[in-house]
Every structure is written in structure tokens, then in C-alpha cells.
């Protein structure tokens, strides 16, 4: 199984590079720039979340879908509101809640962002055989599931390992 070790040894730097490309390497930030959008990443994520939902969402629901804490959403919604990209309307069903709704400009921003991002991915994969593209998506999905499971196992079943 030397071969397996070798494959693992190559996987690690790739994951590291991917992490850099996605988070600090700022793929998403550069897409924003290229789309002419002067928005922070969490802000566009709010807009994309609303876009995917196809309608207004509560602040708490946005936070859940983005998997972040509430105040984080509050802040970025405020910024988006100042820029006229979302509106905050009262929830008729609950006076405590606020429904966040994309304005036409906000919906347009989300669409432009997604369009540039998909365009870039499309360009990147342009020369790929169809089979490779399908394999990539399939294997990446499985990797995510399996790594997620492994991480969950470590978090759950490992109550401070003994020193022995």
C-alpha cells in the first residue's frame, strides 16, 4: 500500500492549495471585482442566499443557511440596505421578525456574480473531457462527505484522548 501513501501525500498539498485559492487566494473576491461589485464576500453570500431562496427570508433563516451567527447577518444586511440592495420589511406574521428582500439591484448583483463565477469555472473546465468533469464532481462530492464524517467522528467520539 505504498501507493496509497503516495496518493495521500499528494492530496494534502492540493487541499492546501485549494484552501488558499478559495479563502485567502480570494477566488470569490476576484469574481466580485470582475463583476464590478464593490461588496464583501459575506454580503454577496447574503444576496446569493436570497437569490437561491427565490424570495424574502428572515435574518435568522439567512444566518442558518449561511451557517454563521445572527449578528454577522445583521451587520451585512445593514450594509446591503444602505447600498439599496436589500429592503427590510416587517413580517406580517411576527412583529419581532424582519423579512429581508432583495431589491431589483440586489437581485441583479447576485445574478451577475453567479454568472461571472460560473463563466470562470466553465472556462477553466473548457478543455476537459466530459468524463473527467463528471468524475471530478462525483469524487469531490464523495470526498466532502467522507471527510465530513471523519471530522464528525473525531469531534463526537473522542473525549480527550488519554496520554498513554
Give contact residues for a copy of itself (rule: CB under 8 A).
3-4, 7-12, 14-15, 17-25, 27-28, 30, 34, 36, 67-68, 117-118, 120-125, 127-128, 130, 132-137, 139-144, 146-151, 154-155, 158, 161
User: Given the complex with a copy of itself, which of 27 and 107 has the nearer CB atom?
Assistant: 27
CA 157 to CA 40: how far, in whole Å?
Answer: 37
CA 43 to CA 50: how far, in whole Å?
Answer: 11
User: Given the complex with a copy of itself, which of 49 and 86 has the nearer CB atom?
Assistant: 49
Q: Contact between 83 and DNA (CB under 7 A)?
A: no
Helices (runs of H) and strands (runs of E) counted in the chain: 7, 3
User: Given the complex with DNA, which of 69 and 126 has the nearer CB atom?
Assistant: 69
Characterize 135-147 residue by residue with b for buried, 16 or more Cβ atoms within 10 angstroms of its Cβ, and e for exposed. eeeeeeeeeeeee
Q: Which three cell numbers stand for residue 80?
A: 446591503
59 binds, among a copy of itself, DNA, none (CB under 5 to 8 A by kind): DNA
Amino acid at each position: 500500500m505504498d501507493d496509497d501513501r503516495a496518493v495521500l501525500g499528494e492530496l494534502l498539498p492540493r487541499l492546501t492549495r485549494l484552501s488558499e485559492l478559495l479563502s485567502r487566494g480570494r477566488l470569490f473576491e476576484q469574481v466580485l471585482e470582475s463583476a464590478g461589485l464593490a461588496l464583501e464576500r459575506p454580503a454577496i453570500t447574503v444576496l446569493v442566499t436570497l437569490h437561491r431562496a427565490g424570495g424574502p427570508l428572515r435574518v435568522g433563516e439567512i444566518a442558518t443557511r449561511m451557517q454563521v451567527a445572527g449578528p454577522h447577518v445583521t451587520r451585512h444586511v445593514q450594509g446591503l440596505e444602505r447600498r439599496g440592495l436589500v429592503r427590510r420589511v416587517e413580517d406580517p406574521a411576527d412583529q419581532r421578525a424582519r423579512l429581508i428582500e432583495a431589491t431589483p439591484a440586489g437581485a441583479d448583483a447576485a445574478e451577475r456574480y453567479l454568472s461571472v463565477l460560473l463563466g470562470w469555472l466553465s472556462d477553466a473546465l473548457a478543455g476537459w473531457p466530459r468524463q473527467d468533469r463528471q468524475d471530478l464532481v462525483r469524487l469531490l462530492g464523495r470526498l466532502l462527505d467522507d471527510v465530513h464524517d471523519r471530522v464528525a467522528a473525531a469531534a463526537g467520539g473522542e473525549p480527550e484522548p488519554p496520554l498513554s
